[in-house]
Amino acid sequence: MLILGIDDAGRGPVIGPMILAGCLINSSLEDEFRKIGVKDSKKILPKKREILAETIKEKSVTFEITLTFPNEITSKNKEGTNLNTIEAIKTAEIINRINKGFEKIMVYVDCPSPNIKKWQTEVESYIENKENLEIHCEHKADVNHVACSAASILAKTTRDREIEKIKEEIGIDFGSGYPSDPLTCKFLKENSEKHKDKGIFRETWSTWKTACSDKKQKGLGEF
């Protein structure tokens, strides 16, 4: 049996892209992946994740990775498309790319929405051919299904590399890019205006708006 796992990395950050990855494996590969330590990427150290990612790419039937950059997220948000819908579209995009010529695929998707049924229906509305698919959207799918764990590793390692690219480009270590990271918050307060045209910020995020607002207020107060 073929199993397709799909998971994301970088839904919540104010800096950098959101990554979705899909990993198609044969069910006979599940035990092997477990033995080498394939599990939820958040529970694996970065160096180990990188090693596992290469093994996953080598041994999986196929895989797909999509990158949704901040400018696209900001643009769609301003048009009224929220992040859950963006992720539903990207999830379907991965399924459509992978679902070529296979007889039967069991699909497990790590669901970002509290309303699993509604979100799955939205995902399915963007899928081109569902006849050979059995789709399951679940919370904690990246913990419960090895294919999703593999996808989470591919997504996380891709996100990590993209963040490093941004840091190298601007020459500043801003941490993880998440609003809860003190280093990220410090960077936003000091550099949100300076780097706002580089396309690295999700400008519809309240964290970014607040940082820019604080920066402008401080600037006015200095005169």
* Number of other residues whose CB lies within 10 A of the CB of residue 139: 13
Look up the pTM and report it.
0.92
Of 18, 15, 34, the closest CA to residue 155 belongs to: 18
Cβ atoms of 15 and 166 within 8 Å: the answer is: yes
Query: At the fourth CATH level, which superfamily is domain 2-166?
Result: Ribonuclease H-like superfamily/Ribonuclease H (3.30.420.10)
Name the residue ranges covered by the structural domains of the chain.
Answer: 2-166, 170-213
Q: Which CATH class is domain 170-213?
A: mainly alpha
CA 142: distance to chain centroid?
12
Residue-wise DSSP of the chain: -EEEEEEEE-SS-SBS-EEEEEEEEEGGGHHHHHHTT---GGGS-HHHHHHHHHHHHHHSSEEEEEEE-HHHHHHHHHTT--HHHHHHHHHHHHHHHH-SS-S-EEEEEE--SS-HHHHHHHHHHT-S--TTEEEEEETTHHHH-HHHHHHHHHHHHHHHHHHHHHHHHHT---TTS-TT-HHHHHHHHHHTTTTGGGT-B-TTSHHHHHHHHHHHHHHHHT-
**Interior CA angle at 201 toward 200 and 203, to 5°?**
145
Instruction: List the pLDDT tens digit at each of the 223 positions of the chain.
Output: 999 999 999 999 999 999 999 999 999 999 999 999 999 999 999 999 999 999 999 999 999 999 999 999 999 999 999 999 999 999 999 999 999 999 999 999 999 999 999 999 999 999 999 999 999 999 999 999 999 999 999 999 999 999 999 999 999 999 999 988 999 989 988 888 888 888 999 988 887 777 655 444 333 222 2
